[in-house]
Chain A
Amino acid sequence: MKPLPIHSYAMSQLDGAEPTDAMVPLPPPGANARKPRLATLATQLAERAVSTLEGAPPSPLAVYFGTALGSLTETAAFLENMIERQEAAPKPRAFTYSVHNAAASRVAQTMKARGENQTFVHGEISYAVALWSAQLAFTRDATSVLVGAADETSRYVERARTQCCPDTATSPVDEGGAMLLSLAATERPAIATIRTVAFARPRDPQQWLAAHLADTPVDQLLHGVPTDHATAVSTLAAETLPYVETVGTHPSAGCVALATAIATIADGHRSTVGVVTASRFGDWSLVVVGP
């Protein structure tokens, strides 16, 4: 498939990292009826990603977004209100923003993005599926594309994660996201290129990954895979690094890791970086980024 050029990116603020122009602070925790949390984060990321352009991106702008858990803050806020009022006329606003595609829709509404608008909810590899879909759109007739992923936390998410994923309890940051901008017709040079996007439910993940990396070798491999696969994965590139150590363990952490990979490429520190992610449902993805 045609490589996807990346012209700018934005990512959530990382713990302990020096703020850069590409970093966006996380919205304050808790429900805010006027500013749905995940949608606000996604919109801030999108606005930051396009802020490097002179004027608006070419129309129609398409949006491909990934989120594993969606707008749980709004879902819980509506349920709280529903229970408090014993189902008598709960406030509709939180319900409106409880749908998984609320973030991508808000991005579209804010930026007048009338192109394709898709939200993928496929666990930790949602961002890779969004990238695949963006790459396809770019191969067809898309003019400008925003692609990324984000996940938020809340007391419900924390409860769920500690119950179903106790090994992820220690995390530098446990929410965040990133958004990338790709333009079809522009004289502006790309800062990086997405060369490969692959995802699968492999019977043998290591074999699947090794086969892909044999076709597309990388200098550095950032990975978010279970500990029982980490040792084997660490043999597949000259340099490997578990990305959870820098970007966190939230479901969209792979997308933030991809943004850091793009920064590495843009700075000329590496020539190819791979980001590999495994979901707790057995899905794996590999994204390779180069100059």
Chain B
Amino acid sequence: MKIVITGVGIVSAAGRGIDATVDALRSGRSGLGELSLFESARCAAFPVAEVTEPIPASTPRASALATLAARDALSHAKIEDPSDVALTLGICVGGLFESEPSVAALVRGETPDDSVWPRHECAYTTHRVARELGVHGPALTVSTACSSGAQALGLASELIRDGSATIALAGGVDAVTRLTFSGFMSLLAMDPEGCRPFDRDRAGMSLGEGAAFLVLESEASALERGVQPLAEFAGYGNSCDAHHPTAPDPEGRGAESAMRIALTRANVTDLSTVDYVNAHGTGTPDNDRSETAALRRVFGERVPDVSSTKQVFGHTLGAAGAIEAVVSVLTLTHNFLPGTPGFVTPDPDCLIPLGESRDARPGIVMSNSFGFGGNNTVLCLRRWVTA
């Protein structure tokens, strides 16, 4: 069964929607700026990619972001009644943006705001999106750290393949929280200059927030609805490094395995037909070195064009895989390859990424997402052509 993508929705530091996203990617505009979501002198020392789209304070931030992107994706796919659509969501920190102050109050021995607890759980965000949009198909929530968003897309394709759903709405979301900020600071994994993926002088990542959703369905379903697919969801692969709680396998063997599985499932037998890889490319010294090793193990000396768009969106954790899947779709629909904002000086231990965006007509593109615990998910998309 050929599975296709028929709609995308995205909200990030680059703005809301396709036009804003393409504009930011083509121009290489950084989404990083000053922290404004909460007060913290220590966190404010690091740039962050915040969403500037107005979010009602009465709605949990992750739910609001997810609902915006999901609604846009459905509209883009021309789905007016989503009641039978399946919903898969990748998320990392759940409703922590709202529950964090209550946990802190308990820690201090103060009386917390108990109204936040029901919204803390990751599944609440999925439930909230389903409720807001009237979705009653099978729903699931997956949390595999920074590969969550990509994993949600793979699982959506499985729901369609096994007949559980005809159409699936799949995506990822996360809001910036104090805990994630402090957590990555404690790991010395944040770059005060802003992330510089694959650069010799890179010193870590930059956090971001956002949401992205894609509509997946069988090609037959799309054509029956009279909707032209944006791209083919050709395959995905998932693996585990089984190496370390946070650090990637230095040789990139787990990432290599996920890429090989994705390519096999996508029936890509000639590796030279892969035109572009949207790298996980966080800008941490370990990740970029390990990802380079993995790409070289898979592609040998002929590594395709690679770029990291992390400085455009920040590292959006549970949303990253879905946001970068949208970027990958846009390379196919808008005929360009994005560059790597922040990259200046090549690192002899790393591949040299595309520095600036350029026009291109890719046929097959891949998107890498790697997470804590050595969780690797790779998506493979193909330009859709009429049979």
Contacts and interface: CB of A to CB of B under 8 A. Distances in A.
Nearest to A202: B136
Nearest to B92: A99
A199 B179 CA distance: 33
Contacts of A79: 100, 103-104, 107, 179
Interface in A120-158: 120-123, 126, 129, 133, 136, 155-156
Contacts of B114: 159, 163
Q: Name the residue among A78, A156, A203 with the largest chain B CB count within 10 angstroms.
A: A156
Nearest to B254: A114
B186 A90 contact: yes
B372 A101 contact: yes
Contact of A76 (B103, B123, B253): B103
B123 A121 contact: yes
B29 to A, nearest CB: 30
A252 B244 CA distance: 26
A91 B186 CA distance: 6
B121 interface: yes
B106 A156 contact: yes
A95 B130 contact: no
A281 B131 CA distance: 10
Given A80-B107, A108-B240, A69 B375 contact: no
Interface in A230-282: 279, 281-282
B112 A121 contact: no
B333 interface: no
Q: Name the residue among A114, A202, A203, A282 with the largest chain B CB count within 10 angstroms.
A: A114
Nearest to A100: B143
A100 B124 CA distance: 15
Contacts of A88: 42
A116 B258 CA distance: 9
Interface string B253-276: 110010000000000000000000
Contacts, number: 190
Contacts of B96: 75
A91 B188 CA distance: 11
Contacts of A129: 140
Contact of A105 (B92, B140, B240, B253): B240
A97 B145 CA distance: 11
Nearest to B87: A201
Contacts of B144: 101, 117-119
B374 interface: yes
B39 to A, nearest CB: 11
B183 A78 contact: yes
Given A203-B136, A279-B123, A118 B142 contact: yes
A92 B187 contact: yes
Contacts of A218: none
Given A91-B186, A201-B136, A160 B120 contact: yes
Q: Name the residue among B123, B124, B179, B372 with the largest chain A CB count within 10 angstroms.
A: B123
A96 B100 CA distance: 17
A32 interface: no
Contact of A122 (B140, B179, B246, B254): B140
Interface in B230-256: 238-246, 253-254
B155 interface: yes
Q: Name the residue among B107, B136, B178, B240 with the largest chain A CB count within 10 angstroms.
A: B240
B138 A76 contact: no
B182 interface: yes
A106 interface: yes
A100 B121 CA distance: 11
Contacts of A13: none
Contacts of A82: 178-179, 182
Interface string A84-118: 00011111100111111110111011011111111
Nearest to B240: A117
User: At the interface, is chain A mostly helix, strand, loop or mixed?
Assistant: mixed
Interface residues of A, number: 64
Contacts of B241: 108, 114
Given A199-B140, A201-B136, A101 B145 contact: yes
A214 interface: no
B122 interface: yes
Interface string B8-43: 000000000000000000000000000000001011
A101 B123 contact: no
B161 to A, nearest CB: 8
A1 interface: yes
B62 interface: no
Given A116-B238, A160-B117, A101 B183 contact: no
Contacts of B141: 120-123
A283 interface: yes
Nearest to A80: B107
Nearest to A97: B245
Nearest to B128: A281
Interface in B162-207: 162, 178-179, 182-183, 185-187
Contact of B375 (A106, A117, A121, A279): A117
A117 B239 contact: yes
Contact of B143 (A96, A99, A115, A282): A99
A226 to B, nearest CB: 15
Interface of A: 1, 60, 63, 68-70, 75-76, 78-80, 82-83, 87-92, 95-102, 104-106, 108-109, 111-123, 126, 129, 133, 136, 155-156, 159-160, 163-164, 199-203, 279, 281-283
Given A116-B239, A121-B94, 16 more contacts: A69-B121, A99-B92, A99-B145, A101-B145, A104-B373, A106-B245, A114-B257, A118-B142, A120-B141, A120-B142, A121-B122, A121-B123, A202-B136, A279-B123, A281-B126, A283-B139
Cβ-closest 7 pairs across A and B:
A105-B373, A95-B183, A117-B240, A100-B143, A160-B117, A281-B127, A92-B186
Interface of B: 40, 42-43, 91-92, 94, 96, 100, 103-104, 106-108, 112, 114, 117-118, 120-124, 126-127, 130, 135-145, 151, 155, 158, 162, 178-179, 182-183, 185-187, 238-246, 253-254, 257, 371-375
6 contacts: A69-B121, A79-B100, A109-B244, A120-B140, A122-B140, A200-B138
